[in-house]
Chain A
């Protein structure tokens, strides 16, 4: 799972979001490191929908513009949980080595 996919899934885990809110959430989650472009976001969303990890929720019109909301599916929650477990194990292993070196 790429970092982009991971962060979009994390953003959607809290509540259904529209595209602009996802971009802002990913920016905040990555502390400004990752700024999703429109083309990139829709590439990620298409893949998540195709894989069954996310699905369309409701649509709204905001200031004359269409906003489509996306929400996480149960399968998406399981995929995110599995990724969190994998990354946590990696962090634990790295922390153990660094502590042994006195670098942490």
Chain B
């Protein structure tokens, strides 16, 4: 009869590792795990422990979001997660460029008609946005570890920014965390030790285009309406770009990995867009409908292909 410790460890493996890997390794792993745990009290009341749990989660990331040496479906899911991460970095850069430019254009901030020193909140916003840019540059230059650490730091700083949000905009601030946490999670889970390096040259161009595009949108905003700055990147430019990318992907009959990645991003951006529409009263009905329809079509195409995977791609 198996001990409670064995049952707990098997439970951990069941939750963390994919079925195909457990079928191959579970008995071997359980035997090794229990080899040193022979004390009766430990077998009855012991737990796998944080260290073993962490190591199993890392193994779970390697196998669920595989890069090679795994079933084609696991590799395809892994490639999709890595593409979601890289697209997410571009989304964060588009937001950060506008945030940093807005802060710098009106630096030092004006309060009551006089220029004042920067408030801690303004400094926090600027620091967060600049950290996003540094993280993105680190990633496209191949410094994967630094990029991941910096983006995780950005996620923590964004949580700190919530303290400055008023009750009216708090829901928007919370929903705005979704794309950031999606990016961070995909980056940490997808780019494990076995993951291949993305095609950096292509992503460098994409990063440059995102920075210029986002700056151009803010520049147009300033020229057309100097006193009312709208977060156009988040509100319209990024969702519209995602819709266009999704439609082009569908029309060109692109692969399932790209379809899933763009579809997931459109779905993740939808709550933010709906909140913008709700809070500002902007008439973005067409954009919201296009986002929902394109996301649905892409996810159907992607999930259909993931059931019968062809060759996976590297983002």
Listed in ascending order, the chain A residues whose CB lies under 8 Å from chain B are 19-20, 23, 37-43, 46-47, 49-50, 62, 65-68
Contact = CB atoms under 8 A, between A and B. Distances in A.
A42 B30 contact: no
B59 interface: yes
Q: What's the dominant secondary structure at chain A's contact region?
A: helix
B32 interface: yes
Contacts of A23: 32
Given A20-B35, A66-B28, A67-B31, A50 B52 contact: no
Contact of B28 (A19, A37, A49): A19
A65 B34 contact: yes
A-B pairs, 7 with minimum CB distance:
A39-B55, A65-B31, A50-B69, A37-B55, A39-B56, A19-B32, A39-B59
16 contacts: A19-B31, A39-B54, A39-B56, A39-B57, A40-B55, A42-B59, A43-B62, A43-B193, A46-B69, A47-B194, A50-B69, A50-B194, A62-B31, A65-B30, A65-B31, A65-B34
B150 to A, nearest CB: 23
Contacts of A20: 31-32, 35
A38 B32 contact: yes
Nearest to A23: B32
A40 B59 CA distance: 7
Interface in B56-72: 56-59, 62-63, 68-69
A41 B69 CA distance: 16
Nearest to A68: B28
Contacts of B57: 39
A50 B30 CA distance: 22
Given A40-B58, A43-B59, A68-B28, 13 more contacts: A19-B28, A19-B29, A19-B32, A37-B51, A38-B32, A38-B56, A39-B56, A43-B55, A43-B193, A46-B62, A65-B31, A65-B34, A67-B28
